Amino acid sequence: MAATIIDGKELSKSKRSELAVEVEQIKAKGLLPKLVVILVGDNPASLSYIRGKQKAAEEIGVGFKLEHFPESLSENELLDIIESYNNNNEYHGILVQLPLPAHINETAVVEKISPLKDVDGFHPINIGRMMTGQDTFLPCTPAGIVEMIKSVGVEIAGKNVVVVGRSNIVGKPVGQLLLNEHATVTYCHSKTKDLTSYTKEADILVAAVGRANFIKGNQIKPGAVVIDVGVNRLDTGKLVGDVVFDEAKDVASYLTPVPGGVGPMTITMLAHNTVQSAKNFLESK
């Protein structure tokens, strides 16, 4: 039996409708939730991602501002810009689009953003709160993945989860979020020996390694839930994930497509965090 596709576009559409209602409720109290995105340089992929974020913000009624600076912007100048938005109560979310030019320290930039406006969920304080199961802004892609799994009624507690990839943006935090949901989590990476022996035991397999068609159908446990985070462009121009889709669909019970899977949910969870930040601001007044 072919896998059921977890459609990130449809789930995002539903969640954005819910967020739009929340935004109207916030506006009725005299506040417009606002997000500022700061871009340094002209990375084409970054520009594309930002367009998606702007569209999501506009869909739900959140104010959106793009601050676009030349690649020559210094690290200190960028830190000053971030600080100005930390202190600007009109803006509830601050996102600095990564990657940054080589002369700017990404860690310093991430840590400069106020944890109260860190809607990307990357600040060490928010990561620490996530690790300890506290209420906080969750990293958008990992949070979206958990939402996708729950959306099809899959019980996470007690499941064996294997995460292939250990990045700070996806791999590590998604494993932690699934651990917080009482799964048993194993991380695999480039140094893992006999990868298949792990992936074949996964009730839930998260592929976040960034290598096209890396996970084959014969590496998947029959009936597993497969979440494909990878977005890789082949020489032909086609976008594919980290999983061989045509093989996985005949083995998995649920499967996310690429494109149209995790990507839309990542942007939707950014919108969710921005709305939550505005609600937090109202409650603090």
Report the catalytic residues. 53, 97, 120
What letter does residue 130 receive in the DSSP assignment?
H
Q: Are 242 and 230 in contact (CB under 8 A)?
A: yes
The answer to whether 159 and 203 have CB atoms below 8 angstroms apart is yes
Nearest to 22, CA basis, from 266, 263, 271: 271
How far from 210 is each of 35, 160, 203, CA to CA, in Å? Answer: 28, 22, 21
Nearest to 40 by CA among 96, 105, 91: 96
Cis omega (within 30 of 0) on the bond before 259?
Answer: yes
CA distance 170 to 201: 21
Beta strands in 77-203 (DSSP E): 93-96, 160-164, 184-188
CA proximity to 242, closest of 219, 212, 199, 200: 212
Q: Which residues contact 88 (CB under 8 A, 6 or more apart)?
A: none
* Among the listed residues 172, 169, 16, the one whose alpha carbon sits nearest the alpha carbon of residue 95: 169
- For residue 213, CA distances in Å to 7, 25, 217, 243 come to 20, 44, 10, 5
Q: 263 phi and psi, to 5 degrees?
A: -55, -55
DSSP H/E element including 255 = strand 254-255
